[in-house]
Structure 1
């Protein structure tokens, strides 16, 4: 009889496979048991106290570090690709908006990754693309550490979805091009599969809630996706959902612009305080739809 286990990493998977076990997924979450609050502050307070909690995160307020958003008034390549798929019914990476995006949006530095933002630190112009993760509030300040982190994030993601052959050096990175054909097809198929599953079964929380951090500027706030959930958020946005169950991640719960002078990368000198504030304003106000129409041949 076939044996089934759930375990945590690729090494365990390989060893147990030799013993006759089949792995259905490489990690499991019990966040479906968390209470989902309507007010994010209720959830934030509990999380800061070390208690598990989730909340209904407005998709309209969700952002990525690159400035792209998931709301109806924003543009994101994953959401655009799924809306194209839903409209055409053509399930094919080749010729899709996503392929055109990867072919044509090829930033050469960390500064260029931040689409439409022209106030990044001068050093970002010389940093490799993954350097854009050195955000003003981030504790880590080493580019080498950042490269290792991004490599590990990607490898963990590929292992979880049984595509261990993919790697950032050979295949690129999902947030921008260029990428290999196999990575492009992997990302496209993953998006479509999630979209169809949610459309068919509704949204399931079995694989964990989306990880976010709150960014507050005066009385306004947005949520930056951290620790996975980009594909699920894109699928929900394309399907017309307005909220997604989310939880505050352990590393970064919350930042407030009134403490900008205390942010690690401002204190280190990598970011000037005015640059850091400008970046926050960019995350709040970037008109990604106009940027896409103005710059993107993939929309034609």
Structure 2
């Protein structure tokens, strides 16, 4: 540790704490020149990752999903993308009241940690004991209980970073309802801000604190990239019809090694439940689900 400033250690610890959540934490810092190099081919990115390098891959948006199964693909559904498409089609007076985002938060209100995965009914029963903000995946190091504590702190931190420190974590979570009107307005404004910046200036990955991050998951030679940080940016890029975006791959997982994932060998997720979950991330027809929920026509 000799020679490393205390402030740098604190920032590194803070980054580690908040980088595993699903929503974007913005920063005014511009760390131009310190982001990992972007690889155009996945094989090169995986090789670099396997030898211990920090890498970004120019990832197809059609392969990107959320930890719940929503997709950034043009023929699938993500609530933020649909909300931004509505905004882009009616740019004159965008308002949260009466918007798609408000309707979505009112319509999709999972009750606990087991119910947060749309169209998926095989999550562990033990996740009923944690709140719906606790989106838990079998590759995570944290137990569901610790994940809930982390998410409570993270949501409060995000609200404070967005200039609303008065909003507690209980005001709601950005990826589903219920949310308070104030929290819904906050998420709407964050989407507007990111969308406007990319629309006017293009996507500059050096402006934010770090790259969009993802877990790369391989199943029989195919990949999905589970976006863990940067949902707002990804949604804006998808709504603006970007096809590829640099994504920092923080972890590489293989379907045939599921029994070795932390929450599987600890017994929180069974092997069959974890396999079904990964199949959900690959195969979930989120647009069909959204139509069934009468969220879209």
TM-score, scaled to structure 2:
0.85
* 1:115 counterpart = 2:118: yes
* 1:103 counterpart = 2:106: yes
Deviation at 1:28, TM superposition (A): 4.2
Which whole-Å deviations, capped at 9, do the CAs of 1:245-272 have from their partners, x for residues lacking one?
Answer: 11122xxx11111111111211122211
Q: Which runs of 5+ in 2 are unaligned?
A: 1-7, 12-25
Residue equivalent to 1:242: 243
Residue equivalent to 1:76: 78
| Alignment partners' CA distance in 2, 1:236 and 1:92 | 20
Deviation at 1:189, TM superposition (A): 1.2
Aligned-CA RMSD value: 2.1
Between 1:123-132 and 1:26-35, the stretch displaced more is: 26-35
Cα–Cα, structure 1 residues 164 and 263, in superposed 2: closer, same or farther, change >3 Å?
same
Aligned pairs (5 A) from 1:34-183: 34-89=36-91, 90-133=93-136, 135-143=137-145, 145-169=146-170, 171-183=171-183
Residue equivalent to 1:281: 279
Residue equivalent to 1:290: 288
Which whole-Å deviations, capped at 9, do the CAs of 1:219-250 have from their partners, x for residues lacking one?
Answer: 11100112x2100000000000011111122x
Deviation at 1:33, TM superposition (A): 5.0
Cα–Cα, structure 1 residues 219 and 189, in superposed 2: closer, same or farther, change >3 Å?
same
Deviation at 1:112, TM superposition (A): 1.4
Residue equivalent to 2:224: 222
Which whole-Å deviations, capped at 9, do the CAs of 1:161-217 have from their partners, x for residues lacking one?
Answer: 333222212x11111111111111111111112111111111111213101110111
Aligned residue for 1:112, secondary structure, equals: coil
| Contact 1:26/1:160 (8 A) holds in 2 | no
Cα–Cα, structure 1 residues 277 and 202, in superposed 2: closer, same or farther, change >3 Å?
same
Aligned residue for 2:135, secondary structure, equals: helix
Cα–Cα, structure 1 residues 235 and 193, in superposed 2: closer, same or farther, change >3 Å?
same
| Contact 1:55/1:246 (8 A) holds in 2 | yes
Deviation at 1:48, TM superposition (A): 4.1
Which whole-Å deviations, capped at 9, do the CAs of 1:30-81 have from their partners, x for residues lacking one?
Answer: 4665321111332233234343332201111111111111111110110000
| Alignment partners' CA distance in 1, 2:50 and 2:158 | 27
| Contact 2:140/2:262 (8 A) holds in 1 | yes
Q: Which runs of 5+ in 1 are unaligned?
A: 1-6, 10-23
| Contact 2:258/2:264 (8 A) holds in 1 | yes
| Contact 1:32/1:205 (8 A) holds in 2 | no
Aligned residue for 2:232, secondary structure, equals: helix
Residue equivalent to 2:252: 254
Cα–Cα, structure 1 residues 102 and 60, in superposed 2: closer, same or farther, change >3 Å?
same
* 1:201 counterpart = 2:201: yes
| Contact 2:35/2:211 (8 A) holds in 1 | no
| Contact 2:130/2:144 (8 A) holds in 1 | no
| Alignment partners' CA distance in 2, 1:212 and 1:147 | 20
| Contact 1:35/1:54 (8 A) holds in 2 | yes
| Alignment partners' CA distance in 1, 2:254 and 2:56 | 20
| Contact 1:101/1:176 (8 A) holds in 2 | yes
TM-score, scaled to structure 1:
0.84
Counting matched residue pairs gives 272
| Contact 2:58/2:246 (8 A) holds in 1 | yes
